[in-house]
Chain A
Amino acid sequence: MANTQHLDRLVSYLKETREQDVALTDVVALAEVTAQSLQTFFATLDTTFYRELRDIAVYIDDMKAEIGALQANELKESRIPAAGQELGAIVKATEVATNTIMECAEAVMAADASNPGAYKALVDRQMLLVFEACSFQDITGQRIAKVVDTLQHIEQRVGRFVEAMRAKDLSGFIDEQERDRAERKSKFMLNGPAAEGEGIAQAQVDQLFA
């Protein structure tokens, strides 16, 4: 609206002065009218820019809130290392238990069975050790539950973050080490143990060799 008014003024001015020589004052007057028109334009532009900048600021605030909710520092410094320690303890416990059980089995297999009484006493002692060693399973189960809890915690927060940011996955690797690991896995077919119900059974393997 303001632009139209200024334009009308400009047209009127030109109509009034077109029969006369153009004086310096005319030029200045024309410049004044033009400047007023542009001021209106800049004012509109300022409002648009302001709105855009305000939207960006709100988006950044939201993003900061979502990053905060992700609790990335707590995950990195506390939860993930703790889960790693639990897994390490699980590996250690199963290793210790396996070694104990194997030592018992080896002791029984190597024992002299010529004296039945002494042999039975030895077997009983070793079997007791086997029972004791198997108690690792209870503690291991509890440790695994803690790791699963951590994984669920991470899953929930990352899921919420991805949804809030409308994040899309980018292909590629985060660094050269990750690329090397992936290439090695692929090149040498290092798939690891199959999940239950996946992979082929020994009988199917045997058919391939028949």
Chain B
Amino acid sequence: MAIDLSMPILVVDDYNTMIRIIRNLLRQLGFDDVDDASDGSAALAKMRGKHYGLVISDWNMEPMTGYELLKEVRQDPGLNKTPFIMVTAESKTENVIAAKKAGVNNYIVKPFNAQTLKTKIEAVFAE
């Protein structure tokens, strides 16, 4: 399945530098429509106002974590089909399993490289 490069992508991270890194990597992959949010609740508000083709979210944020955001998204009938990739430094097995149970589409452990991001995005849209 070809990936729609014009789809809007929402990057959620409380660290501006990481947002900038992911934004640049996405631009290199051909995605130009990239928005960002600094925590789960800000992301949820944006998602309820605009349709995103993909969410790339950190886990550890305040006040709402990426894990809570994922669960909220999956419980919302209007958002629950949105592909969701977790990009996080949380690398315990319990985190990965919990995210998978909550319905995450893929999981990237920080630090990561452009190739990993590309592969995971491709894998999500190949499902």
Closest chain A residue, CB of each to CB of B64: A188
**Contact between chains at A209 and B100 (CB < 8 Å):** yes
Chain B binder among A21-29, A111-119, A129-137, A192-200: A192-200
A202 touches B97 (CB 8 A): no
Residue A121 interfacial (CB < 8 Å): no
Main secondary structure of the interface of A (DSSP, over half): helix
Q: Is the CB of A193 within 8 A of B65?
A: no
Assess whether B112 is in contact with A190, with CB atoms less than 8 Å apart: no
Give the number of chain B interface residues (Cβ < 8 Å).
29
* A98 proximal to B (CB < 8 A): yes
Does any Cβ of B come within 8 Å of A1's Cβ? no
Is B20 an interface residue, CB under 8 A from the partner?
yes
B6 proximal to A (CB < 8 A): no
Say yes or no: is A106 at the interface (Cβ < 8 Å to chain B). yes
- Output the residue of B24, B60, B106 with the most chain A CB within 10 A: B60
| B126 → chain A closest CB, angstroms | 12
User: A199 near B67 (CB under 8 angstroms)?
Assistant: no
CB–CB B98/A193 < 8 A: no
- Beyond A98-B17, A189-B67, is A200–B108 a contact (Cβ under 8 Å)? no
Given A202-B108, A202-B109, also A189-B91 (CB < 8 A): no
Please, which residues of chain A bring their CB within 8 A of the CB of B112? Answer: 202
- Assess whether A192 is in contact with B89, with CB atoms less than 8 Å apart: yes
Chain B nearest CB from A16 CB (Å) reads: 90
Assess A192 versus B60: contact at CB under 8 Å? Given A102-B24, A202-B108, A208-B97.
yes
The reply to whether B67 and A200 form a contact with Cβ atoms under 8 Å apart is no
Give the interface of B toward A (CB within 8 A).
17, 20-21, 24, 28, 59-60, 65, 67-68, 89-98, 100, 106-110, 112, 116, 123
Listed by A's residue number, 18 A-B pairs whose Cβ atoms lie within 8 Å are A102-B17, A102-B20, A102-B24, A109-B24, A109-B28, A189-B98, A190-B60, A191-B90, A193-B89, A200-B92, A200-B109, A201-B91, A201-B109, A202-B112, A208-B93, A208-B96, A209-B106, A209-B123
Q: Which A residues have a C-beta under 8 Å from some C-beta of B?
A: 95, 98-99, 102, 105-106, 109, 188-194, 199-202, 204-205, 208-209
